[in-house]
Structure 1
């Protein structure tokens, strides 16, 4: 950057493989940017890309990114915007080759580098990781920094942490080193806020009715300063809103305790300070950094076998009896029982319903087995054969199928020195990136099951928890997190006292028998829960109604608790003032 004192503007155009295709052009045309970043990878995405690569070894990357570049490279070159994405997936070299071909065809001046070394599946056995079909270590941002320092205009990576896209960009712009822990941690937090695209501008937001122009949300921008602080914003005139609440919600997404571990620095989430400094402008400051952990997290994907399922409709009277007779008949009719058979009765019916749909419930059966035969067509075929011999009103929602392969995600950890973090620079020279010399054994945050204080809150009224609290939840392998926050100090004090681990289990009976950790984040007026193994062995394998736990927080908000009437009165007064002001 020509002016190191000027904050750099980093706009994120993708939060997952399948995000809004037009976001690249919208961000380029919407205003000035120094960098475009894009997160295309998730645990499930790595399995999808693995299947692509099995069909064609030249693939294994996010193909939509290549098409986005074909349509926008001219504008990218004209505006001299750097592009940093993890769209390389399992084949960053292949994506770099394809990009160079597009650049040559379009005759634009853009230099490409790629970061790899994360793919350690060939060494899985020697590293004690078993025999997965994919094994990818989460790399940090200094490979990206090295590529940019060497003159790259576009950097594509394999598996790096989501925040590393911003960390590498900022570290290059400001010349940060491994010992600039506070600055790196600040960039980690900024990267975490914008990594999920529109979730920072009002997407998936608990108080979504307060967000203007939800029709087409703008994508977020992080204005990162040399000291690691940032301002989260969006292009003027785009939909949505950037406010302390939307930023808080994203900060709580898929995190654990107060320490947010990354390969370059551990960010202390309990030091984050948020302030609204203008319309659609939230300042993020005060972030403290600690040494990164000595081990890198590794995403392991195993082929689990074949999964198949069917649903039958149960209508009218005697729903549970109908479900029981069908289950008994079906299991007796199976030629061979699959290794795993799961039943779920979803009671969507209601008494004296005025439509047939409202009078009906769904019974779902899922089979999993390593043998394609046991979970294949003979499984669903056994259900079809009962069509004229079971409960009254028997209906299948879909014809029988053969099932499909499913993967199992498993996290592991490997010493960072054993992973060859590499950069192929624009001139073709490959450079190895040494891990931070500061890395150390991570400090494990202590879970606090309940608050240590008790307050007389006065009169209460039974209302949904979401009357007071916002929530954001998501998957972390087989576990899930639920972050809740309040919008005033008093409401946070009440939330902290009220929502203990025991109370959470009472409100969410599905997690009553699971291990739950509770962490406090007073700076964000938030508490965060991590529920172990609620998602079994990960998104690709589990058959839970909400396999990624995206709705878990909203379910919790819908549960009724005793809310102090003074909070309700204060909200009513605020709503009246807002109405009178309009």
Structure 2
């Protein structure tokens, strides 16, 4: 069956639904609208109006897409229900009636644990949602639904549920389920699988691929769980072993990838280019899932504000020191709970453009009191305008403080979480938890030996950026960052597996030097994956650093110089 994706996040390309429905044959169209930050946004929406809490963008897309999907015989499965899948279902039913369409809409619920947060030991969060699996989706589709909307399910479950319903898989068909999880993981971020955000994008454009508007990915999922990743013919971008590898490494940790229905062994996955824009994904093996479900918790952490001072020309360090001393002194009477300073030395000597002669000094503050982080901080910064370093100005005037959120992950016994498929008829079907569990264990120990290839023989080396031979993709999981690094030949893998150790990563990325770092090895992908704990503080919504979702940490690493064997260059 052909399963496509039309959304990788809340705010992705609006026209993708129409493009996917009109671009070629599909059986199912999925869309991922939920991220950790999105749940916070939807939680704040629900505070303002209890009838909200779902991704309204999807509803607008369906004004055009519902008729097209019915005409093409394409089922639609999305997690756009967010915190209110029942509300989104009602809105879709109303929309279908207004459009004169005979539409069967079902939804999945049970993930929202907010009313039980205290009982479960979660405190008083703004949102509390368990990651459900695929079987509620499968039940809705088997019940005849044209559209299935869910709340917080795992991203891959959208594809897994559709494939399980179509192929008739059982709860213990672990290898097939694992293969579908891998395909779902490739599809979940949309165009990231078709050339978007790809380290070697210059090679794709050199080879004639148009990256100005990459098409969205499709997985042709077979009955055994293997798949071929592709895209509609004639769309932009490219599907290569490299683009699929990059997405496989995105936001994972070790070789065992836990989920509510199956634990997938990512170290068994094999990729093969089987044609233009066609990559076969095979070899995935599955194991029983862990006994606990992950729970996404969001709470309001307080208020945030910042100011960016522009430092131009000479004496940048001295100018930064003066501004910092002045503002610190002004805030000393009632300092914010957290004050963070960063200096980005972006200036060039003897620059012909003023902006290229400038550095940025950023001061970020957080406090439970909006007045302390707002008016008091902004006023103190503005008052320096005529009394500080020469050339004083800021990027934008400081303003009132904005609320920020904090994401944390917790866990709950899977048997304590209801999982309910509400069919298009209104019938409610309880989805039983798995009958078999297995505690999650690391595949390899924390130290060597690991299953590494023989190192390259000694030879001449050259100082060059790591990215000359290695690709990378990085992302966030709460306050942690993952950095997946891969190479494209067995020879390069023999070097990378031994050269890019935890100690070397800490040397290349000094921000990680004092943080816990774990390395995981994926020989089939010629890749290593690093998980850096705490790099992002309390998560993206807390805005702890310049790149709060670690999207570019991998590219920072690729830009760092290392001693690379000349034979690889």
Aligned residues: 561
User: Is the Cα–Cα contact under 8 Å of residues 114 and 425 in structure 1 kept in the other structure?
Assistant: yes
After TM superposition, list the pairs within 5 Å mapping 1:465-476 onto structure 2. 465-476=466-477
User: Is the Cα–Cα contact under 8 Å of residues 519 and 529 in structure 2 kept in the other structure?
Assistant: yes
Query: Distance between the aligned counterparts of 2:550 and 2:298, measured in 1?
Result: 20
User: Is the Cα–Cα contact under 8 Å of residues 146 and 172 in structure 1 kept in the other structure?
Assistant: yes
| Corresponding residue of 2:303 | 306
Query: Distance between the aligned counterparts of 2:322 and 2:211, measured in 1?
Result: 46
Q: Which runs of 5+ in 2 are unaligned?
A: none
The change in CA–CA distance for 1:447 and 1:370 in structure 2 (over 3 A counts) is farther
**Which stretch shifts more, 541-550 or 455-464?**
455-464
Query: Distance between the aligned counterparts of 1:482 and 1:151, measured in 2?
Result: 41
Counterpart secondary structure, 1:566: helix
User: Is the Cα–Cα contact under 8 Å of residues 178 and 438 in structure 1 kept in the other structure?
Assistant: no
Query: Distance between the aligned counterparts of 1:460 and 1:189, measured in 2?
Result: 37
* 1:448, distance to aligned residue in structure 2 (A): 4.9
1:159 and 2:159 are equivalent in the alignment? no
Output one character per residue of 1:470-506: Cα deviation in whole Å (capped at 9) or x when no partner: 1111001111111111111111111101111111111
* 1:210, distance to aligned residue in structure 2 (A): 2.1
Output one character per residue of 1:288-314: Cα deviation in whole Å (capped at 9) or x when no partner: 000011100000001100001111111
User: Is the Cα–Cα contact under 8 Å of residues 449 and 501 in structure 1 kept in the other structure?
Assistant: no
2:263 to 249, 263, 266: 266
| Corresponding residue of 2:464 | 463
**TM-score, with structure 2 as normaliser:** 0.97
| Corresponding residue of 2:20 | 27
1:229 to 218, 226, 229: 226
Output one character per residue of 1:166-225: Cα deviation in whole Å (capped at 9) or x when no partner: 010001001111110000000000000010000000000000012210111000000000
1:320 and 2:317 are equivalent in the alignment? yes
| Corresponding residue of 2:162 | 169
* 1:26, distance to aligned residue in structure 2 (A): 0.5
Query: Distance between the aligned counterparts of 1:24 and 1:449, measured in 2?
Result: 46
1:69 and 2:62 are equivalent in the alignment? yes
| Corresponding residue of 2:427 | 429
User: Is the Cα–Cα contact under 8 Å of residues 455 and 494 in structure 2 kept in the other structure?
Assistant: no
Query: Distance between the aligned counterparts of 2:225 and 2:197, measured in 1?
Result: 27
1:134 to 120, 123, 127: 127
| Corresponding residue of 1:279 | 276
* 1:445, distance to aligned residue in structure 2 (A): 3.5
Output one character per residue of 1:81-130: Cα deviation in whole Å (capped at 9) or x when no partner: 00000000011011000000001111112200010111101101111111
Counterpart secondary structure, 1:324: helix
1:366 to 364, 367, 371: 364
Q: Which runs of 5+ in 1 are unaligned?
A: 1-7, 569-582
User: Is the Cα–Cα contact under 8 Å of residues 447 and 519 in structure 1 kept in the other structure?
Assistant: no
| Corresponding residue of 1:520 | 521
Counterpart secondary structure, 2:82: coil
1:497 and 2:498 are equivalent in the alignment? yes
* 1:449, distance to aligned residue in structure 2 (A): 4.9
Counterpart secondary structure, 1:466: helix
1:249 to 246, 255, 259: 246
| Corresponding residue of 1:441 | 439
Query: Distance between the aligned counterparts of 2:4 and 2:392, measured in 1?
Result: 53
| Corresponding residue of 1:100 | 93
* 1:447, distance to aligned residue in structure 2 (A): 5.0
After TM superposition, list the pairs within 5 Å mapping 1:549-568 onto structure 2. 549-568=550-569
Query: Distance between the aligned counterparts of 1:457 and 1:60, measured in 2?
Result: 59
The change in CA–CA distance for 1:469 and 1:49 in structure 2 (over 3 A counts) is same
Output one character per residue of 1:322-369: Cα deviation in whole Å (capped at 9) or x when no partner: 111111111211252100011111111122222221221111111101
User: Is the Cα–Cα contact under 8 Å of residues 449 and 518 in structure 1 kept in the other structure?
Assistant: no
| Corresponding residue of 1:18 | 11
* 1:154, distance to aligned residue in structure 2 (A): 0.3
The change in CA–CA distance for 1:351 and 1:447 in structure 2 (over 3 A counts) is farther
Query: Distance between the aligned counterparts of 2:57 and 2:543, measured in 1?
Result: 27
Counterpart secondary structure, 1:373: helix
User: Is the Cα–Cα contact under 8 Å of residues 310 and 361 in structure 2 kept in the other structure?
Assistant: yes
1:147 and 2:148 are equivalent in the alignment? no
| Corresponding residue of 1:88 | 81
Counterpart secondary structure, 1:176: coil
Query: Distance between the aligned counterparts of 1:178 and 1:394, measured in 2?
Result: 65
User: Is the Cα–Cα contact under 8 Å of residues 455 and 495 in structure 2 kept in the other structure?
Assistant: no
Query: Distance between the aligned counterparts of 2:214 and 2:77, measured in 1?
Result: 22
Counterpart secondary structure, 2:343: strand
* 1:403, distance to aligned residue in structure 2 (A): 1.1
